[in-house]
Amino acid sequence: MTALAQKMNAEWGANMTIRGTANRREALPNADFVVLSVQVGPREKVWEMDWKIPLKHGVRQPYAENSGPGGFAHTARNLPLMIDIARDIEELCPDAWCLNYTNPLIRLTWAMHRYTNVKVVGMCHQLMWGYTIAMAILADRYGVEIPPNFNVHTNYANKKYRDPVMAAGFKHLDIKAAGLNHFSWATDIRDRATGEDLYPLVRQRWLHEYRKDFEPYSRELFEIFGLMPTPGDAHIEFTQWTHDPLAKPWEKYNIELQSWDGNLVRRADRRQLARDVVNGKLPVDTLKNQPTEYVPEIVEAITFNDNFYYHQLNLPNHGLIPNLPDDAIVEVPGVISGFGIHGLAMGPLPEAIAEMCRRELAYSSLVVDACYHGDKELALQAMLLDPMVNDIDRARAILKDFYVEFAEYLPQFQP
């Protein structure tokens, strides 16, 4: 990656100084910004085990990344490293802004706020799936072609169908959403050029006119609770209606699992692209106009006081959503400038949606404390708040297997 960045720098005449190191303490002194995207354990292998271990005990998760029993294991593995990095930031660059892209985003960002003094904001791209859903429903209005049987699943094989619709959605629409990371709800949908309120049209079309099999679980939640969930069916892992072995909601709603093999292909393709550019097999300009995770824009906004609006920031609540806990990490739009990173006050969520968020936050708060302290009693209490777990012995068995399977990655839980 260092060679790739240096080649881009040279060919594009960016005049930056680029160095690479495998020792973060060499990179951190006096840094103004720190970007975190880390993973403990081989990503796809441990993620698949996060899904398979609970399944062995009768808990079938829809995603197993950010909530559910798998979300506990994911937090437990990544949290010690995140705290270690935060301690180094406190020592070596205490004024730096930390942009965290590591999942489970709510929990790890919350842990850094709770246990360190680092200025950290959680960053994610998931709201783009909300843009994709809305554009699929409004496609004829904007002349956008939608493939047959289109869905917004995150699998790599779906990327070539999903990304053009996503890009069109972001070009033509403006969505305000509030809630939790991977569990946010659209509160406003407008035409980006004219400001026309499109929410009534999205509601009418999706609930009454559009394909019934298009993101059917999200559609049902929209119909029941009154706001459009933005993540898409595959990523809604925070509700208690996705795992019942009798109802089999994964069949009813056709909720696909993440493709771990597909993820491996995606990573291999990206690495090969980087190698081909470095080795001269592809021109550097191949990398122009790629989708961004908005690190450059945020760095520039703070450095040059650009007053940059971003639609999805994960920050301590402090009244941004008044019917959620004040210290919790919530997801809202916000403005980045020389004054810092500040969320927009979004007002209260509908009470039923707020209660779903509060339950997830209560659970996540205990998970953070359990994984920070290595407290197995607290871990069991947290697991029993999980909406997917309905048996005490099952919770104990899942945790026991996690502690054994991931022992090398969970030092805080070892004797």
The confidence score (pLDDT) of residue 257 equals: 83
pLDDT 10s digits, 79-119? 999 999 999 999 999 999 999 999 999 999 999 999 999 99
pLDDT 10s digits, 296-345? 999 999 999 999 999 999 999 999 999 999 999 999 999 999 999 999 99
Arithmetic mean of pLDDT, 134-150: 97
Q: 296: cis peptide before it, omega within 30°? A: no
- pLDDT band of residue 223 (cuts 50, 70, 90) is very high
User: What stretch of H or E contains 121?
Assistant: strand 119-123
Tokens for 116, please give them. 């360190």
pLDDT over 90 percentage in the chain: 92
Residue 241 lies in a domain: yes
Residues 85 and 288: their CA atoms lie apart, in Å, by 31
The confidence score (pLDDT) of residue 198 equals: 99
The dihedral of CA 175, 181, 183, 187: what is its sign? Answer: negative
The confidence score (pLDDT) of residue 174 equals: 99
Task: Give residue 227's domain range.
Answer: 127-252
Arithmetic mean of pLDDT, 133-150: 97
Residue 237 lies in a domain: yes
SS3 240: coil
Residue 373 lies in a domain: no
The confidence score (pLDDT) of residue 234 equals: 80
The confidence score (pLDDT) of residue 246 equals: 87
Burial 199-219 (b: 16+ CB within 10 A, else e): bebbbebbeeebeeebbbbbb
Considering its fold, how many domains does the chain have in total? 1
pLDDT 10s digits, 241-251? 988 888 999 99
**Entry pTM:** 0.96
Residue 186 lies in a domain: yes
The confidence score (pLDDT) of residue 399 equals: 99
The confidence score (pLDDT) of residue 244 equals: 87
Over the chain, what is the mean pLDDT?
Answer: 96
Q: What angle do CA 146, 150, 154 make, to 5 degrees?
A: 120
The confidence score (pLDDT) of residue 253 equals: 93
pLDDT 10s digits, 151-201? 999 889 999 999 999 999 999 999 999 999 999 999 999 999 999 999 999
State CA 407 to chain mean position distance: 26
pLDDT reading at 258 higher than 90: no
Residue 231 lies in a domain: yes
**Concatenated DSSP letters of 282-305:** S-GGGGTT----SHHHHHHHHHHT
pLDDT 10s digits, 371-389? 999 999 999 999 999 999 9
Residues 176 and 190: their CA atoms lie apart, in Å, by 9
- pLDDT band of residue 128 (cuts 50, 70, 90) is very high
Residue 42 lies in a domain: no
The confidence score (pLDDT) of residue 260 equals: 86
Residue 275 lies in a domain: no
Arithmetic mean of pLDDT, 56-63: 94
Q: What is the DSSP letter of 238?
A: S
The confidence score (pLDDT) of residue 160 equals: 95
Residue 94 lies in a domain: no
